[in-house]
Structure 1
Amino acid sequence: MKSKYLIIGSGQLGQELINLLNNDVEYTYHTMDPFNRGAYLDITNFDLLEDHIIKTMPEVIINTAALTDVDKCETDRNMALKINGEAVKHIIRAARVLGSYVIQISTDYVFDGEKGLYKEDDLVNPINYYGLTKLIGESYALSYDDSLVIRTSGIFRHKGFIPFVFSRLMNEKEINAYKGYYSPISAKKLSEAIFKLVEKRKTGIINVAGERISRYDLAIEIAKHLNKRPIIKEVDNVSNWIAKRPYDSSLDISKAKAILDFDFYSLKENLKYVVIK
């Protein structure tokens, strides 16, 4: 069956893309099928992955699947490499056969966090295995001319630091905020940006993320948004973390701002799309 879009993965971003594209999309899932109409696919079974793409015959492939648990990537390196790196090679192999346009979702964690506000052409230097495997995935994607790597930061919908802060504030509980900066964006606004970039058929690398902010300041802003009096502590590390985290992995989004004609980046706009479960 021929489809315009194939979304690989049905996590937070995948769900928003499926909602946005509605009937013009087919999608795969691994752990859960949020809309009960997807195709189960283990993307580490590379033969089945290529076979599914070729049978679906999509014009556009958007790969949102990833092992994003940073500590799990550190402890299960083989699985992290398969999902975040090697699977992209096989997506690209199938895309070449079909002539499909590919969007690969990547991360701010390809940078070491020493300076922040990273541009697309800044030197990459991941400090954890998650960042390294996502960088390998980028390399495979960029080996194909008709591909776009979108680097983003702190995606949230019903999971992530921002929904966590909402929940803690509403339950009047203390919040520990890791010291450092990033550029969080809602899955909703990121999906809208992706759709517009597909229409423009952009290739190469582009940063699509929110405004640079520290997690501490972010928690304060959310408290104001909810009219709550927070108890927030800024911490240098979290005791059960295994992998290193970059101190300032924020992204320079000036290139995306010049291309996209809507507000995908402001904190005020993005906070509208938190889903509390």
Structure 2
Amino acid sequence: MKTILTTGSNGLLGQKLTEKILIEGRLKLIATSKGANRYPVKDGYHYAEMDILNPAQVKQVIKKYKPDAIIHTAAMTNVDTCEANKVLCHQLNVDAVQTLISLCAEHSIQLVHLSTDFVFDGADGPYREEDTVNPVSYYGESKVWAEDLVKQSTSPWAIIRTILVYGITNDMSRSNIVLWAKGALEKASPIHVVNDQWRMPTLAEDLAEACILAVEKNAQGIYHISGKDYMSIADLVRKVADYWSLDKSLIQEVSSASLNQTAKRPVKTGFVLDKAINDLGYQPHSFEEGMAVLAQQMKTVF
């Protein structure tokens, strides 16, 4: 049985990886994150505090546990924060990746690295793995630089790009578009939603499964992982309203330009999923199915 080490285990994807690995028993887990462990179950795996900006600590943890693979989920992902604080973004999204790559090469560890649809400019989505990257934000640039470093690694590697991840855990450090829309509409708050961006929202459980499959199948190369449904952000929010029987008249469609956001967003991303489906056996949920998963979990989370 392979041992995997996850970074960012307190985040949404990190917690879903912990949950899935504990339930299915397919892998041994070393969960790592900055600060104390926030996952409610503490047994059946090891947890180690690990700040990815502290190379000495990262080296110590990896040397101690000697994992077969690292699933690297930790990153700065707030697009506007990355634009406003480029130094910290580079440290978290590029320098920390170089630290992991060096240690993976030294100890012959497979690296599964998480990336994003924001490596593309959004002019011609949905995208295949081999399509040319052209980021329009500093966040996207930082993820391209990290991908380039990973591709040069001498140890086995896989890059998993994903889109607009949604899900729920007992201890959410931040929201995501589905929970935000549901929460605002339940409070009868009018919300502004862009109608000129298109995405394929990804259930966190699906992304976790893809990461595990990449480890189990010794995947090498780039894989596109998302949900199966392509929609505008406005349509996504309307689907949330429909599913939970909320008032759609509160949804006010606006253009991206009207929001005056710090960072530019790609217009149309989306992925062609054929490679992941054929090579990994990836089977994504539809958006309706994903919301049903959330609805079921909400009965126990709250």
Shorter-chain-normalised TM-score: which range?
over 0.9
Aligned to 1:170: 186
The answer to whether residue 63 in structure 2 is matched with residue 54 in structure 1 is yes
Aligned to 1:89: 98
Deviation of 1:265 after TM superposition, in Å, equals 4.1
Identity of aligned residues (%): 30
Aligned to 2:17: 17
Give the whole-Å Cα distance in 2 for the aligned partners of 1:25 and 1:6.
6
| Paired residues of 1:146 and 1:203 also in contact (CA < 8 A) | yes
**Structure 2 unmatched runs, 5+:** 169-174
The RMSD of aligned alpha carbons is 2.0
Aligned residues: 276
Q: TM-score, normalised by structure 1?
A: 0.92
The answer to whether residue 212 in structure 2 is matched with residue 202 in structure 1 is no
1:25 partner SS: strand
Aligned to 2:32: 28
Aligned to 1:244: 264
Give the whole-Å Cα distance in 1 for the aligned partners of 2:194 and 2:64.
45
Give the whole-Å Cα distance in 1 for the aligned partners of 2:218 and 2:65.
20
Q: Which amino acid aligns with 1:264?
A: P
Matches within 5 A, 1:121-132: 121-132=130-141
Aligned to 1:107: 116
**Deviates further, 16-25 or 201-210:** 16-25
1:206 partner SS: strand
Q: Which amino acid aligns with 1:149?
A: I
Distance 1:108 1:262, change over 3 A: closer
Give the whole-Å Cα distance in 1 for the aligned partners of 2:35 and 2:65.
21
Distance 1:263 1:172, change over 3 A: farther
Deviation of 1:12 after TM superposition, in Å, equals 0.5
Distance 1:246 1:32, change over 3 A: farther
**Deviates further, 263-272 or 58-67:** 263-272
Match of 2:291 among 242, 258, 271: 271
Aligned to 1:39: 48
Aligned to 2:7: 8
Q: Which amino acid aligns with 2:236?
A: L
Q: String of CA shifts for 1:137-189, please: whole Å, max 9, x gaps.
A: 11111112510000000012232111111212222322221231111111111
Give the whole-Å Cα distance in 2 for the aligned partners of 1:12 and 1:263.
20
The answer to whether residue 236 in structure 2 is matched with residue 227 in structure 1 is no
Q: Which amino acid aligns with 1:258?
A: N
The answer to whether residue 268 in structure 2 is matched with residue 256 in structure 1 is no
Give the whole-Å Cα distance in 2 for the aligned partners of 1:251 and 1:19.
26
Aligned to 2:171: none
1:38 partner SS: strand
**Structure 1 unmatched runs, 5+:** none
